[in-house]
């Protein structure tokens, strides 16, 4: 799944979803340099996710230790209350928003998991949650558990000035140089498409109109991405999948046919 080209859309969708938790988004806005270094911030997030899937045990352990140490040192303030960035509720919200979008967006793009495989994916991703300090047993490990979790969380979610900052940022990161010329295309094909494939209740909270026929756009984007040979796609940085294949052999090359 994580080698599929649609995962980039899913990853950005997860950032829109995460922004609806007032404390989680405040922690990002108050502590991150994403406005000054937009590409670097997005790359570091993707780097940690990719490393957790394709890295060695030693690389994963080292990266997880760095993330936990960073989270321990950070604080945020909402409505006069100071809170730790590594509060379990916030870590769980970020994790669940992420893996939920990974699974549901790829499903809507036509990836084609069975219900059993979807449940297996959520169960497997409990390991990713443990990397940031959560206990796997306290993390949703099936579609039913994930749906129940979001039902419990929805009363706590809302649009805020901070979520508006994230919405604007994800539609047009303040990049400089030659890259800025690609912003109009990015905004249409990635930024707003990722927003449009959020669950209906999340779109309603953000309060902006999504694309009509977003799933059709998503399927077209996936097909276009799959036209690029896998060897070329894997050359893109940070290259964790490419390194895994070089380390373990071609037998580990991702293939939809290999799913259990």
Q: Give the tens place of pLDDT for each residue, 1-25.
A: 999 999 999 999 999 999 999 999 9
Residues 224-237 have pLDDT tens digits of 999 998 888 888 77
Residue 60, helix vs strand vs coil? helix
CA 227 to chain centre: 23
- Name residue 84's beta-bridge partners: 75
Q: How much is the pTM?
A: 0.94
Structure tokens at 116: 């059993």
- Cβ-Cβ contacts under 8 Å for 12 (sequence gap 6 or more): 170, 190, 191, 194
Which residues are paired to 3 by β-bridges?
none
Question: What Cα–Cα distance (Å) separates residue 235 from each residue in 60, 225, 230, 242, 247?
Answer: 21, 14, 9, 7, 15
- The reported pLDDT for the residue numbered 113 is 94
| Contact between 38 and 233 (Cβ < 8 Å) | no
Matching residue, tokens 């994930």: 146
> Where do runs of H (alpha helix) occur along the chain?
7-18, 22-31, 38-54, 57-73, 88-108, 115-124, 126-131, 143-153, 161-171, 183-186, 192-196, 200-206, 214-226, 230-233, 240-248
- Is pLDDT larger for residue 12 or for residue 258? 12
pLDDT per residue over 33-49, tens digit each?
787 777 777 788 888 99
Between CA 260 and CA 257 the distance in angstroms is 9
At 180, the pLDDT band (50, 70, 90 cuts) reads confident
Query: How many angstroms separate the CA atoms of 142 and 28, rounded?
Result: 28
Torsion of the alpha carbons at 194, 195, 198 and 202, rounded to the nearest 10: 160
Rounded to whole angstroms, how far apart are CA atoms 31 and 73?
10
Residue 41 has a pLDDT of 76
Q: What is the pLDDT of residue 46?
A: 86
> Taking CA 9 as the corner, what is the angle to CA 6 and CA 13, rounded to the nearest 5 degrees?
140
């Amino acid at each position: 799944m994580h080698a599929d080209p649609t995962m980039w859309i899913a990853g950005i969708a997860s950032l829109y979803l995460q922004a609806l938790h007032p404390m989680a988004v405040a922690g990002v806005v108050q502590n991150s340099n994403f406005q000054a270094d937009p590409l670097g911030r997005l790359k570091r997030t993707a780097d940690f996710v990719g490393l957790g899937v394709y890295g060695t045990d030693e690389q994963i352990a080292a990266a997880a230790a760095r993330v936990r140490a960073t989270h321990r040192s950070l604080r945020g303030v909402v409505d006069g209350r100071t809170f730790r960035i590594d509060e379990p509720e916030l870590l769980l919200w970020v994790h669940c928003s992420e893996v939920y979008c990974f699974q549901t967006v790829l499903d809507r793009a036509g990836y084609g998991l069975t219900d059993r495989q979807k449940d297996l994916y959520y169960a497997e991703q409990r390991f990713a949650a443990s990397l940031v300090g959560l206990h796997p047993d306290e993390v949703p490990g099936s579609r039913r558990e994930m749906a129940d979790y979001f039902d419990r969380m929805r009363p706590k979610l809302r649009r805020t000035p901070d979520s508006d900052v994230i919405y604007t940022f994800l539609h047009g990161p303040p990049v400089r140089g030659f890259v800025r010329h690609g912003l109009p295309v990015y905004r249409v094909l990635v930024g707003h498409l990722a927003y449009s494939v959020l669950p209906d209740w999340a779109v309603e909270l953000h309060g902006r109109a999504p694309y009509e026929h977003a799933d059709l756009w998503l399927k077209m984007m996936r097909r276009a991405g799959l036209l690029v040979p896998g060897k070329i796609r894997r050359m893109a940085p940070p290259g964790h999948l490419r390194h895994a294949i070089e380390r373990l052999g071609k037998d580990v090359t991702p293939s939809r046919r290999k799913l259990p």
